[in-house]
Structure 1
Amino acid sequence: MNGKLSRINLVKQLLLEYKEITHADLINRGHGWRLACQIDFLRNKRKWPITTRLEAKTRIGFYSLPHGWKPPEMGDAK
């Protein structure tokens, strides 16, 4: 293993850092496309309360979690 995070783990990490993330964030970290697939998995299969803000002019989606939210497996979920 080369120490590089898997795509889903990178998405989790970025969201939990309370950042808005876009496809560009994954591309810049060498993970290419498919962010929407990862968001869909976390939102629908893991029940993460991810919100989407769509910038009208550029049509870029910005994904984020409510500030302070943690997944149940981390304890103290909100």
Structure 2
Amino acid sequence: MTILKGKKYVAFISVIVGTIGIAIYPIIISPMLNPEHYKKIQQINRQGIRQEDIQPGNMKVWTDPFDRKK
């Protein structure tokens, strides 16, 4: 077993970090940078659905508790 030293160690660590970055980009970073695509998909999928009709237990639809009263 060889011990990595110097440039080989840096290259090895860089490959690991780069691989993790490439794997994370389409899962986490891309949706955060481009949410319009996902909003459009939600609008298409939720067409014709009223949230009040499907709310469980006759609960009120969620509203922002910190919303300023007008």
Compute the TM-score of the two structures, normalised by the length of structure 2: 0.24
Higher relative contact order structure (alpha carbons within 8 Å, sequence separation ≥ 6): 1
Compute the TM-score of the two structures, normalised by the length of structure 1: 0.23
Higher helix share: 2
